[in-house]
Amino acid sequence: MPHEAAQPAGDVSPATDVSPASLRLAIARLARPAIDPGSLPFGEAEVDRTLGGGLMRGALHEVAPEAEGDAPVAGGFCAGILVRALAREKTKPILWIRHDLATVEDGAPYGPGLKALGLDVARILFVLASNANEVLDAMEHALRSATLAAVFGELRGNAKLDLRAPRRLALAAGHGATPALLLRLGAGEQLRAPVAAATRWRIAARASGDAPANGVGLPRMKADLIRNRRGSAASFSLEWRIHDRTFRIPALRERLAPPPVGRPHHAPAQAERRASA
């Protein structure tokens, strides 16, 4: 008995009825999350404007020190972002995942110091990973949970990363609408490799601002934005304002040279000597 020609099931249209425009629309819908997770602003208008509103929340962001001696200020830059993430999400904690080599080389996070920067240490969950792969795997699982204000991973060493790992982190961040920060310490030439991060930052220390009496000035840094998915690269001089927990571009006040000492009363005597010559 001959077979009957197969018919489309239900209301599915034959492929020949699908227009290129409808295919492009369907692909675009699959490529972006259903809900825009929004941005995490820095609090400084110029920086946020360059970033298209702030750091993309459902994305991966890579941070590294400009030189080895800049590692502490690069960590402070990340800490400021985490402070702002906690302020946005009133009840969610952040997850901080450290490569154990970072603890060996740089020491453990110091609670009073984190608190001085504005971080609520009671809302930080710390995880110590034995190698880079564990750091990345823990970050990916945490991001997909969509239960955290941010996920922060620290990697120490110049081991080459498989490009698929950052891509998975970026996809997981988008899935959970959670910002992911990856701080890379001692990575050297590996920082030139392609990465699936929405932004890429290089941080260097700068002299702090004017200090109050018997105090310490506000921390300052140079932040080079060398990759920006939403706009162009840029470079900023930033100050972390601990009292209002925002990044600001500090006002550069011109330092005037002090007036010469003794010039006014010496001028007549010099004039007399020139006249008698």
pLDDT in tens, the chain (277 residues): 444 444 444 444 444 456 666 666 555 554 444 445 789 999 999 999 999 999 999 999 999 999 999 999 999 999 999 999 999 998 999 999 998 888 888 888 888 989 988 999 999 999 999 998 999 999 999 999 999 999 999 998 887 777 788 899 999 999 999 999 999 998 887 777 777 899 999 999 998 877 665 667 888 999 999 999 999 999 999 999 988 899 999 876 544 444 555 544 444 444 444 444 4
Query: Which CA distances in Å does 135 have to 153, 232, 246?
Result: 7, 30, 28
Question: Any bridge partners for residue 227, and if so which?
Answer: 200
**Sheet architecture: strand order including 180-185:** 124-129, 94-99, 150-156, 180-185, 60-65, 199-206, 220-228, 234-241, 246-248
For residue 195, being part of any structural domain is answered with yes
Domain count, the chain: 1
Cα–Cα nearest to 161, from 178, 182, 143:
182
Contact between 71 and 106 under an 8 Å Cβ cutoff? The reply is yes
For residue 22, being part of any structural domain is answered with no
The pLDDT assigned to 15 comes to: 46
For residue 192, being part of any structural domain is answered with yes
**Over the chain, what is the mean pLDDT?**
81
CA distance 128 to 135: 8
The pLDDT assigned to 209 comes to: 74
The pLDDT assigned to 273 comes to: 47
For residue 138, being part of any structural domain is answered with yes
By residue range, what is the domain housing residue 109?
A: 53-248
The pLDDT assigned to 22 comes to: 66
For residue 8, being part of any structural domain is answered with no
Contact between 170 and 49 under an 8 Å Cβ cutoff? The reply is no
For residue 201, being part of any structural domain is answered with yes
For residue 144, being part of any structural domain is answered with yes
CA distance 227 to 196: 10
For residue 101, being part of any structural domain is answered with yes
Does pTM top 0.95 for this prediction?
A: no
The pLDDT assigned to 8 comes to: 45
CATH of the domain at 174: 3.40.50.300
